[in-house]
Amino acid sequence: MIARIVKIVSKEYTLLTDQNERVKAVLMGKVRRQDAPAAGDLVEAEIVHGQYVIQKILPRRNRLYRPYVANVDQAIIVMSVVDPDFSTALIDRLCMLIRHAGIQPLLCVTKCDLGISEETEARIREYENGPMNVIRTAKGTLDPSLAKVLEGKISVLTGQSGAGKSTLLNELDPTFHLATQEISKALGRGKHTTRHNELHPVAGGLVADTPGFSSLDFSRISARELGEDVMEFEPYIGKCRFNDCVHQNEPGCAVKEAVESKKIPLIRYQNYLSILEMIQQRREKYI
């Protein structure tokens, strides 16, 4: 049978079958030598001596490393308007990493009940006028569009600690609260968890909640590739004078022209440049 891994605890795998049943399985020895199985993986499993055994991991569409989840349809960037502060730098960094992994990003702006400054409102509007889907939420008044975007998809929530990721899931599914409590207890508060291997059934989809992260890893992205990971640049990619343009100091750059004519928000471009410079410095250092 073909099933999906929805939970990994040590060597025990929980599979979701096409009949929507949860069964426990172990991994066949030869599979273990392959790439480590991830939550979200589709697998071939068979019953051997009354025990489900995973025989094979089917090819992945994509994979995120933190959290370690495969076949992700979308990543929801959870960003609060305050507490912690709204940060376009963080949204844009996450957005680039998510797009680089071949995953659709979506922005969820939380804590809108706490009041939004003019500056933050202007920044949110820039996203709303851009290519990314944006949902605003406030505690206690669940936006039905959130449940809708989760339906039938594998989603990953990402964002800094305290942004309200777990709160969102608890509001979407009241039974979810218990599950999160159990997990955080099992992991131990304050511990670094690089992998979070569970997908929760929520609103007709599967969602990975993640702990707040401590760093973002751009080591797998080159300066040449970075521009393609910025959604707002997409209409201008391939239109620069030089085809190896990194949209920095080159003449005839279509991206820079779009920034000058305000078709791309200036802050989006500045955030791009700061990551680009970081990548360039890294290359000078190591190559």
Ligand X SMILES: Nc1nc2c(ncn2[C@@H]2O[C@H](COP(=O)(O)OP(=O)(O)OP(=O)(O)O)[C@@H](O)[C@H]2O)c(=O)[nH]1
Of residues 48 and 142, the one with the C-beta less far from ligand X: 142
To the nearest whole angstrom, how small is the minimum distance from the Cβ of residue 138 to ligand X?
Answer: 5
- β-strand 104-110 against 133-136: which pairing, if any? parallel
To the nearest whole angstrom, how small is the minimum distance from the Cβ of residue 161 to Mg ion?
Answer: 7
To the nearest whole angstrom, how small is the minimum distance from the Cβ of residue 41 to ligand X?
Answer: 24
Rule CB under 6 A: say whether 113 interacts with ligand X.
yes
Quick one: which of 62, 60, 44, 42 has its CA closest to 52? 44
Q: Residues 109, 169, 255, 259: which binds Zn ion (CB under 5 A)?
A: 255
CB atoms < 10 A from the CB of 18, how many? 9
Report the distance separating Cα 90 and Cα 216, nearest Å: 9
Residues 114-173 that bind Mg ion (CB under 5 A): 165-166
Residues whose CB falls within 8 Å of the CB of residue 256, separated by 6 or more in sequence, listed in order: 247, 250, 269
Rule CB under 6 A: say whether 227 interacts with ligand X.
no
Of residues 60 and 195, the one with the C-beta less far from ligand X: 195
Report the distance separating Cα 118 and Cα 191, nearest Å: 37
Q: Residues 4, 66, 99, 111: which binds ligand X (CB under 6 A)?
A: 111
Hunting for tokens 């039905």 — which residue is that? 144
Name the residue number minimizing CB distance to Mg ion. 166
Stretch that binds ligand X, among 19-27, 37-45, 52-60, 163-171 (CB under 6 A): 163-171
Of residues 4 and 165, the one with the C-beta less far from ligand X: 165
Stretch that binds Zn ion, among 2-10, 71-79, 115-123, 235-243 (CB under 5 A): 235-243
Q: Residues 123, 165, 247, 268: which binds Zn ion (CB under 5 A)?
A: 247
CB atoms < 10 A from the CB of 141, how many? 9
Residue 57, binding choice from Mg ion, ligand X, Zn ion, none, Cβ under 5 to 8 Å by partner class: none
What are the residues facing 201 on neighbouring strands?
206
Q: Residues 37, 164, 205, 227: which binds ligand X (CB under 6 A)?
A: 164
Rule CB under 6 A: say whether 214 interacts with ligand X.
no
Hunting for tokens 């068979």 — which residue is that? 46
Q: Residues 5, 39, 45, 163: which binds ligand X (CB under 6 A)?
A: 163
Torsion of CA 109, 113, 114, 116, to 10 degrees: 60
Determine contact, residues 136/128, Cβ cutoff 8 Å: no
Q: Residues 55, 130, 153, 162: which binds ligand X (CB under 6 A)?
A: 162
Residues whose CB falls within 8 Å of the CB of residue 196, separated by 6 or more in sequence, listed in order: 67, 68, 208, 209, 210, 211
Q: Which residues bind Zn ion (CB under 5 A)?
A: 240, 245, 247, 253, 255
